[in-house]
């Protein structure tokens, strides 16, 4: 299968979206399913807590109880999973690029490994490392936003 020719979004938006749609759905489908299941189970657990009952007894609307009190507390494990998924996402993208014959960082990594091109391999590993570190920083910031007990010092 020949590689898919990349077209800039600004050059031809419809062609760009048609190229990216199926691989993006393939990569995102797995992660969205895990995220939805984690959010659901965390929400079911949080909605049984005493402070949720207290908020309901104070007369706060159900929507506000769910969003402000329940979802905010339930998203902590989901944010943690996001940080973990970044590393596995990079590995999954390599497989997806190979399956869909897309020239990207995954194919570049495979070619560099086959040709033993060490500078390119080091650059790709460094890029992955930076992505994981940035994701962990975003997770820490997300904790501070979601949980007022967490302080960034």
- The predicted-structure confidence for 62-107, as pLDDT tens digits, reads as follows 999 998 888 888 888 888 888 888 877 877 788 888 888 888 888 8
Provide the 8-state DSSP code for 47: T
Whether 7 is covered by a domain: the verdict is: no
pLDDT(136) > 70:
yes
Whether 2 is covered by a domain: the verdict is: no
* Residue 4 confidence class, pLDDT cut points 50, 70, 90: low
- Pair of tokens at residue 112: 């560099």
Whether 153 is covered by a domain: the verdict is: no
* Residue 41 confidence class, pLDDT cut points 50, 70, 90: very high
Q: What was the pLDDT predicted at 153?
A: 62
Rounded Cα gap, residues 73 and 75, in angstroms: 6
- Pair of tokens at residue 97: 């690029």
Provide the 8-state DSSP code for 66: I
Query: What contacts 127, CB < 8 A, 6 or more positions away?
Result: 105
Contact (Cβ atoms closer than 8 angstroms) between residue 65 and residue 56: yes
Q: What was the pLDDT predicted at 131?
A: 87
The range of the structural domain enclosing residue 41 comes to: 13-146
Contact (Cβ atoms closer than 8 angstroms) between residue 47 and residue 70: yes
User: Does the model's pTM come out above 0.85?
Assistant: no
- Compute how many other C-beta atoms are within 10 angstroms of the C-beta atom of residue 74: 21
Q: What was the pLDDT predicted at 45?
A: 92
Rounded Cα gap, residues 78 and 6, in angstroms: 33
Q: What was the pLDDT predicted at 101?
A: 80
Instruction: Count the domains in the chain.
Output: 1
Q: What was the pLDDT predicted at 105?
A: 85
Whether 102 is covered by a domain: the verdict is: yes
pLDDT(149) > 80:
no
Rounded Cα gap, residues 109 and 124, in angstroms: 7
Whether 152 is covered by a domain: the verdict is: no
């Amino acid at each position: 299968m020949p590689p898919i020719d990349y077209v800039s979004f600004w050059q031809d938006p419809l062609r760009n979206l048609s190229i990216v749609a199926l691989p993006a759905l393939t990569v995102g489908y797995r992660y969205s399913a895990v995220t939805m299941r984690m959010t659901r189970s965390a929400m079911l657990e949080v909605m049984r807590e005493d402070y949720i009952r207290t908020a309901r007894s104070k007369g706060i609307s159900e929507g506000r109880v769910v969003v402000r009190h329940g979802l905010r507390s339930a998203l902590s494990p989901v944010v943690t999973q996001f940080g973990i998924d970044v590393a596995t996402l990079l590995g999954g993208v390599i497989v997806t690029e190979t399956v869909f014959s897309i020239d990207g960082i995954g194919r570049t990594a495979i070619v560099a490994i086959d040709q033993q091109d060490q500078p390119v391999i080091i650059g790709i590993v460094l890029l992955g490392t930076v992505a994981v570190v940035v994701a962990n920083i975003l997770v820490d910031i997300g904790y501070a936003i979601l949980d007022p007990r967490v302080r960034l010092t």
